[in-house]
Structure 1
Amino acid sequence: MDVAEAERVSALLAAEANAVGLFDEVVARGIIAPGARESVVSDPAKLALRDALEPFWEQGRAYFDAHPDITGDQLYTWVAEQAAAQGWELTAAIAGHLVGEFPHKQISGTELTSYVAAGSTPPMRRLDPKGRVCHWILEIHLVDRANNIGGFFEQLLDIRPAA
């Protein structure tokens, strides 16, 4: 990994850590209380959804890691199939996307190949148009239609903090 890529990876990991810190601060100030409200704590369906999201995401990362030539289409198909097998409905046409330069900036191009989605056939492990390694966010959107509830979990897919 060259210096520019190492700095880019470091910045992405720092941004993810900052997002977690921001979320923790919002919870600490009582602005939101995920999973702590009485209606969640006493509702088995809500608890099941809350408790399924991160492990499901981790399973998706493990699947990505185990398939070096995986495409966005293949990962999306796996996510959709696993959601159904685990009793959930996948609620989005995508299960992730390329990481942009800045938060909320338009992803490089509008092509399907910028997403973890049906029909995205290039390998996810590739270079972007600028010759840089593509980095990805894996997004898990699950719904329990019978109970009219849904949840969402996303993180960087292909890079991790140093152990």
Structure 2
Amino acid sequence: MTATLNKEAVGLAYSLEGMLHAKRKTWEAIDEMARRVKPGMLESEAQVMSLEVLNELGMDRIWHPSKIRFGENTLKTFKQRSDGDPVLAPNDIFFIDLGVVWDRHEGDSGATFTVGDDPEMKACAVAAKTLFDQVHDYWRTHKVAGPELYRYADEQATAMGWKLNLEIKGHRVSDFPHAIYRAGDLGNFEDCPNVGLWILEIQIAHPTRPFGAFYEDLLA
């Protein structure tokens, strides 16, 4: 129990409402960025734009580097560098992954979007959100630990015809900085994660084509 409590420790500023506010503001930023991403834009230009949006919305600070990935770079994990500086094509896929502090609390959300009319890209983007919702509901309904959440996610992704990237297994958040608690990945947390403390990450790949999709949000 002590280990669980340490891995779910929070600071003096923490409140669930603070986390939910950070979540709302992060989604506001993602939606605005997605509106500004257009075919013909370089991935690096989207990165610059993302900082402009966050400053416009009044962030406290960034707590992890913002990631906007175009095309084949949607297969990259957070720690991997993008290949080159691709231009968003007329039919293409991209995701936005933000880690931002709002009023001392850490927001961390991400989603995938498409431009044009490629049906498989559209399906991939939808599938990442659908799978996230299924796993989130499984957590809420069954109160399972982290390893079971990701076992279920892998099972469901396979049933849907996608490949789940099991290197991406979620992580802690709280009032800034959560990193002092060194809680490890959600997928390795051997207890049922509590509300407002963990980010569920889902990253899938198309089974044959070189792109994927990403979705993450707070377990709340």
Deviation at 1:109, TM superposition (A): 1.5
Query: What does 1:38-117 align with in structure 2 at a 5 Å threshold?
Result: 38-40=90-92, 41-68=116-143, 70-102=144-176, 106=179, 108-109=181-182, 114-117=184-187
Q: What residue in structure 1 maps to residue 74 of structure 2?
A: none
C-alpha distance in structure 1 between counterparts of 2:18 and 2:12, whole Å: 10
What is aligned with 1:129?
none
Q: Which amino acid aligns with 1:106?
A: A
Structure 1-normalised TM-score? 0.72
Larger strand fraction of residues = 2
SS of equivalent to 1:139:
strand
Q: Distance in 2 between matches of 1:73 and 1:101?
A: 25
Paired letter, 2:186: V
**What is the CA deviation profile of residues 12-44 of structure 1, one whole-angstrom value per residue up to 9, with x for unaligned ones?**
11111111111222233447599x973043211
Q: Deviations over 1:62-84 (max 9, x none)?
A: 1101112x111111111111111
In the alignment, what sits opposite 2:18? 11
Gap change, CA 1:38 and 1:66, over 3 Å in 2: same
Pairing 1:155–2:217 present: yes
Give percent identity, aligned residues only: 29
Q: CA deviation at 1:85?
A: 1.3
SS at the partner of 1:146? coil
Residue 124 (structure 1) shift: 2.4
- Decide whether the 8 Å contact of 1:143 with 1:151 is kept in 2: yes
Q: Secondary structure at 1:147's aligned position in 2?
A: coil
**Contact map agreement 1:144 1:150 (CA 8 A) in 2:** yes
Residues of 2 paired with 1:20 and 1:77: CA distance?
Answer: 27
Count of equivalent residues: 141
Deviation at 1:50, TM superposition (A): 1.1
Distance (Å, rounded) in 2 between the aligned partners of 1:137 and 1:38 = 32
Matches within 5 A, 1:132-143: 135-143=197-205
Distance 1:95 1:107, change over 3 A: farther
Q: Secondary structure at the match of 1:142?
A: strand
Q: Show structure 1 runs of 5+ residues with no match.
A: 127-132
Q: Normalized against structure 2, the TM-score is what? A: 0.55
Structure 1 stretch 85-94 or stretch 44-53: which is displaced more?
Answer: 85-94
Q: Aligned equivalents of 1:65 and 1:124: distance in 2?
A: 10
Q: Is the 8 A contact 2:146 2:193 kept in 1?
A: no
Q: For the residues of structure 1 that align with 2:148 and 2:214, how far apart are their CA atoms?
A: 20
Runs of 4+ residues deviating >3 angstroms = 4-7, 28-34
Distance 1:99 1:124 in 2: 15
The separation in 2 between residues aligned to 1:107 and 1:150, in whole angstroms, is 32
Given that 2:146 and 2:189 are in contact with CA atoms closer than 8 Å, whether structure 1 keeps it comes out as yes
State the distance in 1 between where 2:198 and 2:133 align.
14
Opposite residue 155 of structure 2, the aligned amino acid is: E
Structure 2: stretches of 5+ with no match in the other structure:
1-10, 38-44, 47-67, 71-87, 93-115
